[in-house]
């Protein structure tokens, strides 16, 4: 059972996760266009992660006997100044998502919605990892600076990132 308010907030989060996917897909396309295949791969894996985040919420709403409602997805930027610019924007966006998840948890607690609170804990933990990954890459990009060879070395490393689908379990996997 989900209150109207909770449903609305979860549907809003579903839209934000879809926007995250769209944003990282745009960054992947831009990376590919600028010849950085590794960065393109990293952002495409991130796109897959975000789709998984969205689908978990979609499944949760539907498994609670309600209907996931889909809204328009905002258009992301199509041009970026540099890989550092993309990762700084990624971190900024992830901080926005972390705040949004925290607000959802606050609402679940206010509403005494224990099931949704438990469901959201996965996202609380996930956000630590998401921000951590971005911070690490930003630090490395700052070290690399304008060194083209350093950037290509990092690009070769990021080619190795793979999407690991969550093990199937209950409402949309974990
Ligand atoms: Fe990037 O964590 Fe979802 O949005």
Q: Which atom of ligand 1 is nearest to the CA of 16?
A: 4
Q: Ligand 1: which of 15, 53, 54 to mutate, judged by most atoms within 8 Å of the beta carbon?
A: 53
Determine whether the shortest distance from the Cβ of 113 to ligand 1 is under 6 A.
no
Question: Which residues, other chains included, contact 16 with Cβ-Cβ below 8 Å and sequence gap of 6+?
Answer: 97, 100
Q: What is the residue whose two structure tokens read 């789709």?
A: 51
The CATH number of whichever domain residue 140 belongs to comes to 1.20.1260.10
Residue 174: what pLDDT? Answer: 40
In a domain, 42, yes or no: yes
- Is residue 166 included in any domain, yes or no? no
Residue 77 lies in a domain: yes
Distances in Å between the Cα of 149 and the Cα atoms of 85, 96, 144, 145, 154 are: 18, 33, 9, 10, 9
Q: What's the 83 CA to ligand 1 centre distance in angstroms?
A: 19
Whether 104 and 54 have beta carbons less than 8 Å apart is answered as no
Distances in Å between the Cα of 22 and the Cα atoms of 68, 118, 127, 145 are 19, 27, 18, 27
> 133 with 139: CB under 8 angstroms?
no
| Within-domain flag for 170 | no
* Total tally of structural domains belonging to the chain: 1
Residue 172 pLDDT = 43
Per-residue pLDDT, 171:
43
Does residue 21's CB lie within 6 angstroms of at least one atom of ligand 1? no
Best residue among 13, 21, 25, 50 to mutate for probing ligand 1's pocket (most ligand atoms within 8 Å of CB) is 50
Return the best residue to mutate from 97, 120, 122, 137 for the ligand 1 pocket (most ligand atoms within 8 A of CB): 97
**What is the distance in A from the centroid of ligand 1 to the CA of 39?**
18
Give 136-157 as a DSSP string. HHHHHHHHHTT-HHHHHHHHHH
Question: Does residue 64 fall inside a structural domain?
Answer: yes
- What range defines the domain where residue 123 resides? 4-158
Note the pLDDT of residue 167: 74
In the prediction, which pLDDT does 168 show?
59
pLDDT truncated to tens, each residue of the chain (174 aa)? 999 999 999 999 999 999 999 999 999 999 999 999 999 999 999 999 999 999 999 999 999 999 999 999 999 999 999 999 999 999 999 999 999 999 999 999 999 999 999 999 999 999 999 999 999 999 999 999 999 999 999 999 999 999 998 875 444 444
By three-state DSSP, how is residue 169 classified? coil
- Whether 18 maps to a domain, the answer reads yes
SS3 per-residue string spanning 72-100? CCCCCCCCCCCHHHHHHHHHHHHHHHHHH
């Amino acid at each position: 059972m989900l209150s109207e308010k909770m449903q609305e907030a979860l549907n809003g989060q579903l839209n934000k996760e879809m926007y995250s996917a769209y944003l990282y897909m745009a960054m992947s396309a831009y990376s590919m266009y600028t010849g950085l295949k590794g960065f393109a791969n990293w952002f495409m894996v991130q796109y897959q992660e975000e789709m998984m985040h969205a689908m978990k919420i979609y499944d949760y709403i539907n498994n609670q006997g309600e209907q996931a409602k889909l809204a328009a997805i905002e258009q992301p930027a199509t041009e970026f100044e540099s890989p550092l610019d993309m990762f700084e924007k990624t971190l900024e966006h992830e901080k926005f998502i972390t705040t949004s998840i925290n607000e959802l948890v606050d609402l679940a607690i206010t509403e005494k919605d224990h099931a949704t609170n438990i469901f959201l804990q996965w996202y609380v933990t996930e956000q630590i990892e998401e921000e951590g990954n971005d911070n690490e890459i930003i630090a490395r990009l700052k070290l690399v600076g304008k060194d083209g060879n350093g950037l290509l070395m990092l690009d070769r490393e990021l080619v190795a990132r793979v999407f690991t689908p969550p093990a199937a379990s209950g409402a949309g996997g974990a």
